[in-house]
Amino acid sequence: MEGKPAVRKAKATEGKSAIRIATENDFVEVGKLIYSLFPEARPLHSEKDVYFVAEEKGSFCGFVHVRLLRSSLELQGLGVLPAFRDRGLGKALVSHALKWAEKTHPHLSVHLKVKPTNASAISLYLKEGFVVGQDDGDAFKLVRAKPN
């Protein structure tokens, strides 16, 4: 079904991590990962929410969360555990999510909000094709145009 998480064969990425869509069975561990990175977060969990996870030696070390909205997709969260940063994992997670979005929702644009002070995340998103849409003071809104 459109927008519903599905089991997908894991792919090797840079380093030794594999990236795949999280299944229902993964959600407790995904929640722990998100909590360790964003203690204030309350992860959404519905058929509109798709979580991609990076897994290494049986543990999750990074995630990206995409939420299906009425007429667009929102990238709602991205995080990589500190010990796994700076080796391309964050970029690989976003790239996987964007490829999935292009395949499953080709008519929808993808957007996200990021704090203007989060230079590393902004740099990553710009490299993945996002452009600055608007600045609402507390956050930049970045948009990635839908593919032609």
Ligand X SMILES: CC(C)(COP(=O)(O)OP(=O)(O)OC[C@H]1O[C@@H](n2cnc3c(N)ncnc32)[C@H](O)[C@@H]1OP(=O)(O)O)[C@@H](O)C(=O)NCCC(=O)NCCS
Q: Are 77 and 38 in contact (CB under 8 A)?
A: yes
Residue 111 interacts with ligand X (CB under 6 A): yes or no: no
Q: Taken in order 131, 44, 137, 37, is the CA torsion positive or negative?
A: negative
Q: What tokens were used for 134?
A: 């608007």
Nearest residue (CB) to ligand X, 26 versus 128: 128
- Residue 6 CB: number of other CB atoms within 10 A? 12
Residue 114 interacts with ligand X (CB under 6 A): yes or no: yes
Residue 46 is which amino acid?
S
| Cα three-residue angle 27-94-64, rounded to 5 degrees | 20
| Cα three-residue angle 1-30-109, rounded to 5 degrees | 45
Residue 89 interacts with ligand X (CB under 6 A): yes or no: yes
Binding mask 38-77 for ligand X (x = CB under 6 A): ----------------------------------------
Using the rule CB under 6 A, which residue among 67, 87, 111, 146 binds ligand X? 87
Using the rule CB under 6 A, which residue among 15, 31, 48, 91 binds ligand X? 91
Residue 118 interacts with ligand X (CB under 6 A): yes or no: yes
Residue 120 interacts with ligand X (CB under 6 A): yes or no: yes
Task: Give contact residues for ligand X (rule: CB under 6 A).
Answer: 37, 78-80, 85-91, 114, 118-121, 123-124, 127
